[in-house]
């Protein structure tokens, strides 16, 4: 498998705080790589290092086979576009003027492809409207257009749908999928909106406390997400006693709601609970989602 980005034992130390602790990850070419972790887990630190905004304390990474210690890494980064934290746009310029500014910064004197970029991100007809008067979704799409200047092979997005309304989220999602499928652009995307990320990602990297705890494809994640039978009961304590006696693997997911990771005989289950003075109020099949898998993987409550 070809990899666009590979990191090995990356560490980043800030005085007494270690943001990255031997982080090793591999982003396949052509993937939409979902970077999943709590706030403060190290996602943005890693992205800033890859983009050259910060430097690692130790460890290394390769971008398209070029090591970060190689003098060619600056030129290789021209194959990459990124939106890190806040969109890098000029509020008192129009969409076209923002792209012209980026072309000038990159030393690209030919503006002929700007119209195509504006059409791609849905901003072709914004005319003389200044970016400061754009909606948040429009500003985010403009930031993506800026990141696309130079025709990159890799895009890195840090929370690209943060704060967007439902329509804005759909627009960004469709744009990301279009860039990946039609232009074969590899995309690394971190997002705390995990249900939305699950609609995009082909691969995942789960980061916790500065280290990658697991990498997997979307197909592997689908297999790993356990199916369960979810029961709503009148007495959770009594139900737990019965489930322990039946040696079922289960989890209490909410008050009086229990997930059973098995395919129990419902008649026998109801009878066992009845002996403990407990009734089943409802029973449904349930699939574990990305958020549930993440929490089961790293433990505790998730902020993302």
206 and 263 inside one domain: no
Quick check: is 143 in a domain?
yes
Residues 150 and 206 in one domain: yes
300 lies in some domain = no
> Could you give the dihedral angle defined by the CA atoms of residues 89, 91, 96 and 102, in that order, rounded to the nearest 10 degrees?
-30
CA distance 246 to 203: 37
Residues 57 and 184 reside in one and the same domain? yes
The answer to whether residue 70 is domain-embedded is yes
Is 161 a domain residue? Answer: yes
pTM of model > 0.95:
no
Query: Is 293 within the bounds of a domain?
Result: no
Which domain range does residue 205 map to?
3-222
Task: Give the residue among 172, 144, 154, 104 at the shortest CA–CA distance from 4.
Answer: 154
Residue 86 has a pLDDT of 72
Write out the chain's pLDDT in tens, 304 residues. Answer: 799 999 999 999 998 899 999 999 999 999 999 999 888 899 999 999 999 999 999 999 999 999 999 999 999 999 999 998 777 799 999 999 999 999 999 999 899 999 999 999 999 999 999 999 999 999 999 999 999 998 999 999 998 888 888 999 999 999 999 999 999 999 999 987 888 899 999 999 999 999 999 999 999 888 777 788 999 999 999 999 999 999 998 988 788 999 898 888 999 999 999 999 999 999 998 777 788 888 878 876 544 4
Strands (E), 41-191: 58-63, 66-67, 80-83, 154-158, 186-190
Q: Where are the beta strands (DSSP E) in the chain?
A: 3-14, 17-28, 32-36, 58-63, 66-67, 80-83, 154-158, 186-190, 203-208, 211-217, 227-233, 250-254, 257-260, 280-287
Q: Identify any residues that bridge with 67 across adjacent strands, giving them in sequence order.
A: 62
Nearest of 7, 41, 53 to residue 27 by alpha carbon: 7
| Same domain membership, residue 272 and residue 205 | no
- Whether 263 and 185 share a structural domain: no
At CA 190, angle to CA 186 and CA 193, rounded to 5?
A: 125
53 & 183 share domain: yes
Both tokens assigned to 247:
């040696």
Number of domains in the chain: 2
The answer to whether residues 283 and 213 belong to one domain is no
Claim to verify: residue 242 and residue 173 sit in the same structural domain: no
- Shared-domain flag, residues 147 and 278: no
Domain co-membership, 195 together with 247: no
Structural domain includes residue 250 = yes
DSSP 110: -
- CATH number reported for the structural domain that contains residue 237 in this entry: 3.30.70.100
> H-helix or E-strand containing 182?
helix 166-183
**Does residue 207 fall inside a structural domain?**
yes
Residue 91 and residue 98: Cα distance in Å, rounded? 9
- Reported as half-sphere exposure (CB side, CA atoms, 13 A), residue 212 has a value of 19
**Residues β-bridged to residue 189:** 34, 157
Summarize the chain as % helix, strand, coil (round to 5). Answer: 35, 30, 35
Distance CA 171, CA 264 (A): 42
If asked whether residues 267 and 190 sit together in one domain, one would say no
Q: How many CA atoms lie within 13 A of 51 on its CB side?
A: 18
Q: Could you tell me if 164 and 127 lie in one domain?
A: yes
Residue 19 sits in a domain of what CATH number?
Answer: 3.40.50.300
Pick the last residue of a domain from 170, 199, 222.
Answer: 222
The verdict on residue 303 lying in a domain is no
């Amino acid at each position: 498998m070809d990899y666009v980005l590979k990191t090995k034992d990356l560490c980043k130390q800030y005085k007494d705080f270690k943001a990255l602790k031997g982080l090793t990850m591999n982003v396949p070419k052509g993937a939409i790589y979902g970077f999943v972790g709590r706030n403060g887990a190290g996602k943005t630190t890693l992205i800033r290092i890859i983009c050259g905004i910060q430097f690692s304390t130790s460890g290394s990474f390769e971008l398209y086979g070029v090591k970060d210690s190689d003098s060619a890494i600056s030129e290789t980064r021209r194959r990459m576009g990124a939106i890190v934290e806040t969109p890098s746009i000029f509020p008192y310029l129009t969409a076209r003027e923002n792209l012209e500014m980026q072309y000038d910064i990159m030393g690209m004197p030919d503006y002929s492809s700007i119209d195509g970029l504006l059409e791609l991100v849905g901003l072709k007809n914004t005319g003389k409207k200044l970016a400061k008067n754009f909606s948040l979704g429009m500003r985010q799409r403009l930031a993506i257009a800026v990141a696309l200047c130079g025709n990159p092979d890799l895009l890195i997005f840090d929370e690209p749908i943060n704060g967007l309304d439902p329509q804005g989220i759909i627009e960004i999602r469709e744009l990301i999928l279009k860039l990946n499928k039609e232009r074969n652009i590899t995309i690394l995307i971190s997002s705390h909106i995990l249900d939305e990320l699950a609609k995009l990602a082909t691969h995942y990297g789960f980061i916790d406390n500065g280290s990658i705890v697991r990498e997997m494809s979307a197909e592997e994640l689908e297999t790993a997400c356990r199916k369960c039978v979810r029961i709503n009961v009148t007495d959770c304590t009594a139900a737990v006693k019965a489930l322990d006696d039946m040696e079922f693997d289960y989890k209490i997911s909410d008050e009086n709601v229990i997930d059973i990771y098995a395919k129990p005989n419902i008649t026998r289950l109801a009878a066992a609970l009845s002996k403990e003075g407990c009734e089943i109020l409802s029973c449904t099949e349930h699939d574990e989602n990305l958020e549930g898998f993440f929490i089961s993987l790293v433990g505790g409550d998730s902020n993302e």
